[in-house]
Structure 1
Amino acid sequence: MQLPSLLRTAALLAAASAPALGFASSETFLNGQSVYGQPAAVSAGAFEVDLTQSPRPNIAYGETVVFRSEAGQQFAWTFNGLDRRAIELAKIAPAGFATKSAVVYLGRDPANRR
């Protein structure tokens, strides 16, 4: 009698954890948006980061940043996905953008209490 209930419990746990495991390994939300934020237009008011001067910048959540490489390349990104994490710039930079293993440290979303 113990075996069927044990199998049912194991199956229930496997089914409940499958979506969480898929989300943890994915870099997009279920709606297709990136967990890191989204590309933005390069604008004059955006915070600028020269990767030759600062290869590991601290960025506030929700901030739009223009990244510049030493080759004169640039792109902009708005960091409004998941907060409090280190993001390898190569994951969000356009193809061909020289990142040289740059990492962005994203701050806490002020809407989160913890």
Structure 2
Amino acid sequence: MKSTRRLRIAAFAALSVVPLLSFAASGPVFMNGQHMYGQPTTQETPVRVVDLAATDRINVAYGESVVFRSGTQQFSWTFNGLDRRSFDVSQIAPAGFTSKPIVVYVGRNPLYRR
């Protein structure tokens, strides 16, 4: 009887923790699932290419689409999440994309007056 109760408690605890773990692993996202710093984009959309081997900080305008390159790897991102923020590119890059810290500074959204 006690072992059945312990098993139920353990199962309930495990099922309660799983959603929290998935939320923590997803990175900085809003409640609707959108990433706080923007979204991935297609390779055709970006207007700017940044080689991460040649820099340690990047300034981007709000709404700008950028292709990031590191050796033979690349990914593209549109910065239409939160404006006036800085963060490490590893927060949006695919796993193992770059090993050095590179800071992205997102400019102000021109639609908002602050």
Amino acid aligned to 1:83: D
CA distance in 1, matches of 2:53, 2:84: 24
Residue 51 in structure 1 maps to residue 52 in structure 2: yes
User: Partner letter of residue 94 of structure 2?
Assistant: P
Q: How many residues align?
A: 88
Q: CA deviation at 1:44?
A: 6.8
Q: Which amino acid aligns with 1:33?
A: Q
CA contact (8 A) 2:68 2:76 kept: yes
Contact in 2 for aligned 1:65/1:78 (Cα 8 Å): yes
Unaligned runs of 5+ in 1: 1-25
SS in 2 for 1:57: strand
What do you get for the CA RMSD once the two structures are aligned?
Answer: 1.5
The residue number in structure 2 matching 1:33 is: 34
Query: CA separation of 1:45/1:81 partners in 2, compared to 1, >3 Å: closer, same or farther?
Result: closer
Q: Which amino acid aligns with 1:58?
A: N
Residue 101 of structure 1: aligned partner: 101
Superposition deviation, residue 45 in structure 1: 4.9
TM-score of the superposed pair, with normalisation by structure 2: 0.71
Q: Please report the TM-score for the alignment, with normalisation by the length of structure 1.
A: 0.71
The ranges of structure 1 where at least 4 consecutive aligned residues each deviate by more than 3 angstroms after the TM superposition are: none
- Which amino acid letter does the alignment assign opposite residue 54 of structure 1? T
Percent identity among equivalent residues?
56
Q: Does the 8 Å contact 1:42/1:76 carry over to 2?
A: yes
Unpaired stretches in structure 2, ≥5 consecutive residues: 1-26
Structure 1 residue matching 2:66: 3-state secondary structure: strand
- For 1:102 and 1:49, locate their aligned partners in 2 and report how far apart those are by CA, in whole Å: 11
| 2: CA distance, partners of 1:28 / 1:98 | 21
